[in-house]
Structure formats: structure tokens, C-alpha cells
Chain A
Amino acid sequence: QKEVEQDPGPLSVPEGAIVSLNCTYSNSAFQYFMWYRQYSRKGPELLMYTYSSGNKEDGRFTAQVDKSSKYISLFIRDSQPSDSATYLCAITESLSNQAGTALIFGKGTTLSVSS
């Protein structure tokens, strides 16, 4: 079982809809949880991060973590066509030889917002 599971979608919604993107993870030792956004033919870019259970808001975006259920979510309010992209959840894991941490990515969910 991959350590981070994410439904790849695709997910299609009309403009203005509330979008919910979700991931589950298996290792309770993971501490930091991130969401990256990837536009077509571009590299991923960090959208939000959180390290504790609860919610974190940034404009129309809310990241939510439930460590008891090992469940992370990204909510997008008032979705816009410009939000059309692939959203990847990511968690940190320790590199070998105590060299720091690396990211484990979910497969990504492709979102399309139609006007």
C-alpha cells in the first residue's frame, strides 16, 4: 500500500462550486502536510501546508488535517476556471542518514472548473 492515497479523479465542477479534495495516509509519524498545485505542462508549486490537526485558511482555500483518521483535505470555495489544475497532496518523510526530509506525493486529483 502506497503511503499516501489520493483519488485521481478527474473532477469537474461549475464555476462557483465548493470543491473538496482528499488524501489518506498510512504512517502516523508523518508531521507535515502540504498541497501542491500543478498546471498543465508546468511543475508543481506549493499551495498550502499545515502540520497540526485542524483547519488552515488562505483566501478561498482551506487545508484540513485529521490526524486521528489520517485524512487530509483541501477545500476550494467559489471555484474559478483558473483553479483548473492537478492538486497533489504531499507529506514529509525523513531521509536516510538523518539527511533531512523528502516529500511523498499522492497521485494528484485533476480538477476542471467550467465557466
Chain B
Amino acid sequence: NAGVTQTPKFRVLKTGQSMTLLCAQDMNHEYMYWYRQDPGMGLRLIHYSVGEGTTAKGEVPDGYNVSRLKKQNFLLGLESAAPSQTSVYFCASSYPQGAPNQPQHFGDGTRLSIL
């Protein structure tokens, strides 16, 4: 009964370092999303994927890359971390959003701090 699992839960990086955030879902969902949540800004879509092997840009994609090599996994990469990327990152998954009774299921977030 895991749902959406995000790894790691917390991380502190230095400016310029790289890292990858992992999202795994066990609900066989086609769609997966990465959001960032900042105080006063709400949730903003970074990248999304509508199926294995596909990715697309969301509202705030700059500085991030993503990959969806397996249907159940969606990776978010920071190639050269910047302090502006300090945030809480949420992954979500869903069936194709044809109707709202197929909601997005969220993980519990990765808290990332860039020094």
C-alpha cells in the first residue's frame, strides 16, 4: 500500500553539486509529475510525463532534467544546484487526467536545501 514514494526525504547540497530525486509509484499510473512548493508560491509544475519514455516541460523547468525510463519511476535531476532551487519537491502520479475522479496522488515530498 505504498502509493507514491519519494527518495530521499531530506537533503542538503552545496551550490554547484548535482543530485537526482527518485519517485516511484506502484499504482500502474501512466502520468507522473514533479512539482516544487515554495512559501507564498504554491505548487508549481516542473516537468511531467504522460508515459514511459516521454517527458515534457511544465511551468518552471529551467535548471532541472527528468527521465522516465520505467513506467513506475520518474527521476528529477539537478545538474548544478543553485540556492534558488531550495524547496520542497513533490512527485505525483495519476491515470490520464480525463476526469477529476482520477486524482493526482502525491508523495510526501523531498526537502532540499542548497547552501
Stretch touching chain B among A11-19, A67-75, A93-101: A93-101
Any A CB within 8 A of the CB of B50: yes
Are B98 and A43 interface neighbours, CB within 8 A?
no
Q: Which among B43, B50, B108 has the highest number of chain A CB atoms within 10 Å?
A: B43
Are B48 and A95 interface neighbours, CB within 8 A?
yes
Which A residues are CB-close (under 8 A) to B31?
A: 100
22 residue pairs from A and B, CB less than 8 Å apart: A34-B103, A42-B108, A43-B4, A43-B106, A43-B109, A44-B106, A46-B104, A51-B100, A88-B42, A95-B48, A96-B56, A99-B50, A100-B96, A101-B97, A102-B48, A103-B45, A103-B97, A105-B42, A105-B43, A106-B42, A107-B41, A108-B43
Interface residues, chain B, CB within 8 Å of chain A? 4, 31, 33, 40-45, 48, 50, 56, 58, 90, 92, 96-101, 103-109
